[in-house]
Amino acid sequence: MLNSNSNSSAVENSNVAKSRPLTSQRIPIKQIDSQTSGKIHIRQQKGYFQRIRTGMNSLLVALFFLLPFISYQGRQAILFNISEQQFIFFGTTLWPQDFTILAWIFIAAAFLLFFATVFWGRVWCGYLCPQTAWTFMFVWIEERIEGSSNKRLALDKAPMSLKKASKRISKHLAWGAIALLTGCGFIAYFIPARELYLDILTFEASFWIATWVWFFAICTYLNAGWMREQMCLHCCPYARFQSVMFDANTKTVTYDASRGESRGPRKRKQETDLGDCVDCNLCVDVCPTGIDIRNGLQYECINCGACVDACNQTMEKFGYKTNLISYASENELVDKAVPFYESYKFLGYGIAALIMLAVIGFDISSRSAIELNVIRDRQTLYRETLTDAIENSFTLKIRNKTQQARHYQIYVSGNNSYQLAGKSRVLIEAGEQLDYPVTVSADLNALDKSRNEITFVVAEQHSHSQVAQNSSFFSPI
């Protein structure tokens, strides 16, 4: 947030360094309203950081739409199949009981985000956040149809006419098409993509599928087309707590007040006692959230680097040193840069992220591709046969958690006289659960107590994968 005292102090130090009169160089203290008013018309900006942002946003959008169309082993590679309660990810199927893995993944992702924030500030917001990607996409469409930021502002003030109406209708139709495509792209992670797009385009989708597609389409249209920076300023919780993770070594988009003040316009190559900031206001015009970075660190800044590129272009035109606005830490501004590995927050979040990744690896490696649940017959504890044998009935619930049909062999252990009646070899289709009733018999003379331990083992043929579960075998003794 804005710190007027720190800015004034920095300016005073710079004035002493440059031997300028202090009274003429002091920045007047004023209250800054962090709330932007009116619609922000972002000015298009090109440059080094904008090429990075555009490339990463384009990659994000492309992956979002294309991933559901990737097939693996004859099935959609990534699919949250809610109806069958399974999450398919490139040959691995996670069931509700495996969702602890997803929980660990989300926790690890949070620590990685905190880890990046300590070092680079809100770099996620500026370069990878879907809200930023879709907002810039909608702004790009708006600029192609209505023109530059100045033309869009003039169009807003102009009275309604046929030309204005045609531009507005064209823009909103384009926004609507992108929003509908985005709604389909999101639901394609829950419904097979090829079926979904065909059903939507032919108007054959079911009521609930169509409802969810249109719901997310409307959300996209409102968020990226209308709310835009308001999502970052008021709805996103990350904007509120990210400052807690900052320290003096966090690199954020920063204005070097000691070098830039006192600011003021001037002609090129003009001798002046002013600072390097020519007060062109481009850093404000290109900002997606409409802030003035020269007022100091503010929670609205998403670290997209647009103001850095704009300022560097201006500095080059005037023959000044670049990076008046740059990614810099508080310590770097006062030449007290500390190596990142000496930051306790940086090390703490990094270690926590590594621990979470190790937990995920252990959880995945210990995960079995077979699930077994043994249920005893609740009607009868045991049955006696004419041959002095004791029989117990069980139901084996065996789930094949892979995406291919598998043959399984059933074994029993615990007493040498246990014998499994019926077939001990079963075939279970991909992702299916088989309720398999079995009867186990034992010689009465071989049993030494009324309740004996029995272990059921289900092993996949031609594989080392197996699972076991204990139960009880009852007899009249």
Residue-level pLDDT, tens digit, the chain, 477 residues: 344 444 444 444 444 344 344 333 444 444 444 444 578 999 999 999 999 999 999 999 999 999 999 998 888 999 998 888 888 888 788 888 788 888 899 999 989 988 888 888 888 999 999 999 999 999 999 999 999 999 999 999 999 999 999 999 999 999 999 999 999 999 999 999 999 999 998 999 999 999 999 999 999 999 999 999 899 888 888 877 877 888 888 889 999 999 999 999 999 888 888 999 999 999 999 999 999 999 988 888 999 999 999 999 999 999 999 999 999 988 888 877 677 667 778 888 889 999 999 999 998 888 888 889 999 988 888 999 888 899 999 999 999 888 888 999 999 988 888 999 888 899 998 888 899 999 999 988 888 888 999 999 999 987 778 899 999 999 986
Question: How many whole angstroms separate alpha carbon 276 and alpha carbon 312?
Answer: 11
Of the three residues 188, 206, 241, the one that is the final residue of a domain is: 241
Per the structure, how many domains does the chain have?
Answer: 3
Q: What are the residues whose beta carbons fall under 8 Å from the beta carbon of 64, sequence distance 6 or more?
A: 130, 185
Amino acid at 148: S
Closest listed residue to residue 236, CA positions, set 119, 125, 106? 125
**CATH number, residue 438:** 2.60.40.10
Task: Give every CB contact of residue 254 below 8 A, 6+ residues apart in sequence.
Answer: 293, 297, 325, 326, 327, 328, 329, 330, 333
How far is 43 from 282, CA to CA, in rounded Å? 8
Residue 164 lies in a domain: yes
Quick one: 70 and 199 in the same domain?
Answer: yes
287: Cβ–Cβ under 8 A, 6 or more apart, which residues? 40, 42, 293, 301, 306, 307
| Domain match, 77 and 204 both | yes
Q: Do 21 and 105 share a domain, yes or no?
A: no
Is the CA virtual torsion 341, 346, 352, 357 positive or negative?
Answer: negative
Q: Which of 396, 378, 380, 390 is nearest to 437 (CA)?
A: 396
Which segments of 288-341 does DSSP mark as H helices, in order? 306-318, 330-333
Residue 348 lies in a domain: no
Number of other residues whose CB lies within 10 A of the CB of residue 123: 21
Q: How far is CA 450 from CA 381, 472, 475, in A?
A: 10, 10, 5
Task: Please indicate, yes or no, whether residues 128 and 262 belong to a single structural domain of this protein.
Answer: no
In-domain check, residue 77: yes
Amino acid in position 324: L
Kind and range of the H or E run holding 466 = strand 466-474
Output DSSP code: residue 338: -
Shared domain check, 443 and 387:
yes
User: Are 227 and 261 part of one and the same domain?
Assistant: no
The answer to whether the peptide bond before residue 243 is cis (omega within 30 degrees of 0) is no
Instruction: Tell whether 211 is covered by a domain.
Output: yes
The Cβ-side half-sphere exposure at 464, using a 13 Å CA radius, reads 0
DSSP one-letter string for 206-275: -HHHHHHHHHHHHHHIIIIIIITHHIIIII-THHHHGGGG--TT--EEEE-HHHHPSP----TT---SS-
My answer on whether 237 and 113 are in the same domain is yes
Question: Does residue 22 lie within any of the structural domains?
Answer: yes
Assess contact for 333 and 253: CB atoms under 8 A: no
Considering the domain architecture, whether residues 82 and 10 belong to the same structural domain is answered as no
Find the largest Cα–Cα distance for the chain: 115
Q: Are residues 54 and 14 in the same domain?
A: no
Q: Residue 1: its pLDDT value, please?
A: 38
Claim to verify: residue 229 and residue 105 sit in the same structural domain? yes
Give the C-alpha separation, 336 to 347, whole Å.
Answer: 19
Domain that holds residue 211: 48-241
3-state SS of 373-436 is EEEECCCCCCEECCCCEEEEEEEEEEEECCCCCEEEEEEEECCCCCEEECCCEEEECCCCEEEE
- Starting at the earlier edge strand, list the strands of the sheet with 451-460: 425-428, 406-413, 451-460, 466-474
Same domain, 225 and 92: yes
Domain assignment present for residue 118? The answer is yes
208 and 81 in a single domain? The answer is yes
Domain end among 186, 212, 241: 241
Of the residues 214, 241, 268, the one at which a domain ends: 241
Phi and psi angles of residue 110, each rounded to the nearest 5 degrees, phi first: -65, -45
pLDDT for 98 equals 80
> Would 216 be classed as within a structural domain?
yes
The answer to whether residue 352 sits within a structural domain is no
Give the C-alpha separation, 430 to 18, whole Å. Answer: 75
Residue 236, pLDDT score: 86
